[in-house]
Structure 1
Amino acid sequence: MRQIENVLTDRGSKYAVSGGPAHSRAEVDAFLKTLKRTKKYAKATHNSWAVLLPEGPLKSDDGESGAGMVIIRMLERAGLHNHVVVVTRWYGGKHLGGDRFRHVQESVRVYLAGMS
């Protein structure tokens, strides 16, 4: 499991990104369970994730509407299959509007850049 904390902060909201191999929904669930063993991730406002599996993409917005699809598009562009990417957000008290999508993109970009 790779974790990158403090990816960015905006109006009090903080972002982190994590990821690792996942070849099935069961492996995604196990990854999320491991991630949430850390109390701060379990208490995060959103743990949005996506993975490209042979049977098709899976995603969860976890209340951050549209975030899972943003992650899927970036994984498709990168050609990264069988690897779950989770963008975590701790809500800072102010709505970010459309900026939240740019922050999800930036978080995934940072994660993917660290893989090459």
Structure 2
Amino acid sequence: MSDGTYRTLTGPSRYELDPVKASRFVATLDHVTTEDEALAVVAACEAEWPDASHHCWAYKLAGGRTRSSDAGEPGGSAGRPILARIEGKQLADAVVVVSRWFGGTKLGVGGLIRAYGACAGKALDAADVRVVPRTRALRVEHGYEDTAAVQTVLAAAGLTPLDADYGATVRLTLAAPEATADALAQRLVDATAGRAVVEAAEPGAEK
């Protein structure tokens, strides 16, 4: 979306497609924010259903990163159709795993594309979606004498640090709304008379 927000899943859900030539297809969806979280959903499906023939999947993160897997199905017959449905719904921070139990009749590449795409698409149609602001990861470093001033600025912005390290100085990691991140950084600098250092975190932390 172009207004500083994006669409994502509210949480986990599951959908089972009507059997296709006796093959069973079940989609598992979830909201994720990192590749590790997405792969954990895949691993959970593999552990729950070790008897499934394939666990094909795709995800898209808010930073734009995508990845998909055919998990042993013919190339391009599963992961890409799943990813196409995620992108078609304009979703991000979302993973879809479609588990298949082979029913004894080969579907062919075209049949697999249709089946995996249909299962993912119908699962996403039924899923709850929410709109959230895009965020920018910031690192804030300040002295202990400025703790109260920094906390006042963060409280006014409704932000809680994602991580805090207390060493010689205080180092915080924040996820600030993209639309207000620059203004927030300036307020932190102003509130500490220029002593606070505010920098962008690594690109992978952005939403």
Is the structural similarity TM-score above 0.5? yes
| Alpha-carbon contact 2:42-2:57 (below 8 Å) kept | no
1:58 alignment partner in structure 2? 67
After superposition, residues 1-116 of structure 1 pair within 5 angstroms as 1-5=12-16, 7-38=17-48, 41-53=49-61, 54-65=63-74, 66=76, 67-97=78-108, 98-116=110-128
For 2:28, what is the secondary structure of its paired residue? Answer: strand
Mapped partners of 1:37, 1:2: distance in 2: 17
Mapped partners of 2:42, 2:58: distance in 1: 11
| Alpha-carbon contact 1:8-1:103 (below 8 Å) kept | no
Percent identity at matched positions? 28
Mapped partners of 1:113, 1:4: distance in 2: 10
Mapped partners of 2:85, 2:14: distance in 1: 18
Give structure 1 regions of 4+ aligned residues with deviation exceeding 2 angstroms. 33-37
Mapped partners of 2:127, 2:32: distance in 1: 16
- Residues 11-64 of structure 1: CA deviation (Å, up to 9, x unaligned): 2211111110121111012112222332xx222111110011225211111012
For 1:87, what is the secondary structure of its paired residue? Answer: strand
TM-score, structure 1 normalization: 0.88
Mapped partners of 2:79, 2:65: distance in 1: 14
Which of 1 and 2 has higher RCO (CA within 8 Å, sep 6+)? 1
Mapped partners of 1:21, 1:90: distance in 2: 25
